[in-house]
Amino acid sequence: MKRFWAFVRKEFFHIFRDKQTLLILFGMPIAQMLIFGFVISNEIRDVGIAILDQSNDVATQQLTDKILSSGYFLLEDKLSNSDEIEEVFRRGKVKEVIVFEPQFEQNLVRTGKANVQIIADASDANLANLISAYTNGIIQDYVNQKNVLIPKPMQIIPEVRMVYNEQLKGSFMFVPGIMALILMLISAMMTSISIVREKEMGTMEILLASPLKPFQIIVGKVVSYIVLAFTNAVTILLLGNFVFGVPIQGSVILLLLECILYIILALSLGILISSITDNQQVAMMISGFALMLPVILLSGFIFPIENMPIILQWVCQLMPAKWFIIIIKNIMLKGVGFGYVWKETLILIGMTILFLSISLKKFKIRLD
Amino acid sequence: MRTILHLLQKEFLQIFRNRMMLPIIFIMPLLQLIILVNAATMEMKNLNIFIVDQDLSVTSRLLVDRFSASPFFRISNWSTSLDEADETMERGKTDIILNIPGNFERDLVQENRAEVQLLVNAINGTVAGIGYSYAASIIGGFNREIITKWYQLPKNVVTLQSISAKPSFWYNPELNYKVFMVPAVLAILITVIGIFLSGLNIVREKELGTIEQINVTPIRKYQFIFGKLVPFLIIGLVELGFGLTIGKILFNIPINGSLFVLFTTASIYLITILGIGLLISTLASTLQQSIFISYFLIMVFMMMSGLFTSVETMPNWAQTINIINPIAYFMKLVRTILLKGSGFRDIYQDIAALVIYGITILSLATWRYRKTV
């Protein structure tokens, strides 16, 4: 046992003496939280637009002013004919062109109907959708102001309540997501790389020849990373709670236990990777590359799983991150107890056991 | 020149003799492309709606019919008790609850206004917002319908003014997410391959000690960097070619621009990216350090590049930071070249920026690489 602790201490020294890596390990979750919290949003501001006004009357002038003063749009160009639209789009600054039909005001006053065309550059489909909706909103607002409000009969009033997230905060999505991503990547990468490194440098031989059992070597390596990853988990939770206002409705202890379970799962995945290869570069490629995008895209972190094709939904079931995200959302946001997450927890435990038993089978005690 | 050729030969041999590396470099990214592009969709369909109808009148049933006819909603359950609905939402089986209170029809006819309740599971704020607006527009449409049906509008009322704003989406009329994600995921994949390969390369020679052998040869610094750069550049371009072919065949993405423009841009970009990798590699002393630095950079640059959310929606200071974000340049360039068919004349500014960036980074990397210990 004393030997084992000495080994654990050695591992801690390994980690803590590499200041650069340590800085990144702790800086990464913080940087990600800040990026998601302050940079990524679905609010538009100062999007470049161009206006093709074929009418040039009071109404179009008022509408143009209203659109430009909304703060969402910035006038980049005034066009004089429709051939120029293609050109401004290709140059890339202008994302939307608003085309007023000739005799706009006349049509509006005489027939009660006028037409505007909103042409959006949909090479960025998200943005196109968003800005055309904003523009339409402003235009409809303008019409509503012009119309005297005639009381309408038989109103059905939809009354909405946003459950669990009254203000529709984005942080309710990204905090659990970042947690799943960071814990998975740091744990899997650190373990796989550090074990493979011992193999590649030849120091694994020394360890295997020592009186420590192979099992103890692995556990000793893993302990330090559990501590590290757990610190990260707590950092993310604290930042999420105090900076981004994500509540922890359920039991904190249950939440932390689930985090530890997930960390152990990620570590066993790391061990599995390290048993496949003897080359740090390969280990890194597998753990960093094969895990990064799938964890981001297939876990429900950014894109809802329900919208994906059925086959892909099945692939998502294999992602540990998916289950972990469900668990922490349930505990943090809905405040439910273990009774609601036991199934997901069992799946995570099952995956851990699976990864561990495969790697135990593959782990070589003998030197080749 | 011969020295460089020998160096190139050595690098290629080193890459191709590692059996596990080849599938990782070529198959994994393309597999990811095929899978992930399908995942990245914000299109909403099949939101599970739980109907609580406490009124059970003709009108309430007609309203429910409107929901069952909509492609966005799938009526997952039907009940007369709100508690039951709450319970399923807690279990995550329901996205929206439509609660039609008792006396709905009576209120509507007698008091001219009736309320319905929509309870939306808002953990995912975006989905909740979109789901709510779909539901509200269905209710609004239904409302107009019954008004015209029950209450023949008086004919001589002054017609309200209306402006019809017709949106049209150029370059991607159906707002197909795949068209827009393929170039983006492709850009990310060649970036990741580029940075990881180059970022690990020199530092690996350091760790294994083989760098000393190179240091004692008459190879010049720039020759060394050049020899490291070219193989990865070729791999990156081949990868891009494969990816485009797959994108064209499987997802039918448009290739409107000239391939020459695309590949020239990609080469400039790749050189920049590889330069960053090599710079990291000369700075780090262990593979682990290099791995985490490159990893950190990729993460930050990727998230800010406009991959998932547009650059235009970011705050100004973040857009300013993007001046030093190579992925942001390339993301924009790839999309405009492929989808809009922009030529050099349209995008020379961004290309010039990348060229300056690349030259700076490469000179830094060459300068940082020390032959003397």
CATH number for the domain harbouring residue A52 = 3.40.1710.10
Please state which of the ranges A295-304, B158-167, B317-326 shows the lowest mean pLDDT: B158-167
Q: Which of A36, A116, A289 sits opposite B163 (nearest CB)?
A: A116
The domain total for chain A is 2
Cβ-contact B261, B252 below 8 angstroms: no
Give the pLDDT confidence of A259-273 residue by residue, as tens digits: 999 999 999 999 898
Q: Which residues pair with A159 in a beta bridge?
A: B117
Give pLDDT, residue B155. 45
| pLDDT above 70 as % of chain A | 96
| Containing structural domain, residue A101 | 47-146
Same domain, A110 and A226: no
Strands (E), chain B: 47-53, 73-79, 96-100, 113-121, 162-170
pLDDT at B62 over 70: yes
Same domain, A122 and A174: no
pLDDT at B373 over 60: no
Same domain, A139 and A177: no
Whether residue A282 lies within 8 A of chain B, CB to CB, comes out as: yes
Mean per-residue pLDDT for A182-189? 88
CA distances to A91, A250, A283, A286, B165 from A95, rounded to whole Å, are 10, 44, 42, 38, 17
Answer yes or no: do A124 and B89 touch at CB < 8 A.
no
Same domain, A176 and A140: no
ipTM here: 0.78
Residues near B338 by Cβ (< 8 Å), separated by ≥ 6?
B183, B253, B254, B255, B256, B257, B262
Task: Answer whether residue A14 is part of any domain.
Answer: no
A chain contacts of residue B204, beta-carbon cutoff 8 Å: 280-281
Same domain, A236 and A326: yes
Task: Answer whether residue A157 is part of any domain.
Answer: no
Give pLDDT, residue B173. 80
| pLDDT above 90 as % of chain A | 20
Q: How confident is the model at residue B281 (pLDDT cuts 50, 70, 90)?
A: confident
Last residue of a domain, one of A146, A177, A208: A146
Q: Which A-chain residues 29-48 have CB contacts (< 8 A) with chain B?
A: 31-32, 35-36, 38-47
Same domain, A326 and A189: yes
Give pLDDT, residue B156. 44
Average pLDDT, chain A: 85
Q: Which of A35, A160, A185 sits opposite B300 (nearest CB)?
A: A35
Give pLDDT, residue A149. 56
Same domain, A342 and A193: yes
Structure tokens at B277: 């990798």
| pLDDT above 70 as % of chain B | 95
Give the pLDDT confidence of B16-57 residue by residue, as tens digits: 887 777 888 888 888 888 888 888 776 666 788 999 999 889
CATH superfamily label, B47-150? abc type-2 transporter like domain (3.40.1710.10)
Same domain, A232 and A355: yes
Same domain, A197 and A255: yes
| pLDDT above 90 as % of chain B | 20
Give pLDDT, residue B191. 92
CA distance A221 to A207: 12
Same domain, A119 and A183: no
Strands (E), A37-176: 47-53, 73-79, 96-100, 113-121, 155-163
Same domain, A180 and A296: yes
Answer yes or no: do B112 and A340 touch at CB < 8 A.
no
State which residue of chain B sits closest to A335, comparing Cα positions: B90
Task: Provide CATH 3.40.1710.10 ranges for chain B.
Answer: 47-150
pTM for this one? 0.81
The DSSP secondary-structure symbol of A299 reads: S
Same domain, A99 and A231: no
For residue A215, give how far its alpha carbon lies from the nearest alpha carbon of chain B (Å).
Answer: 24
Who wins on pLDDT, B158 or A208? A208
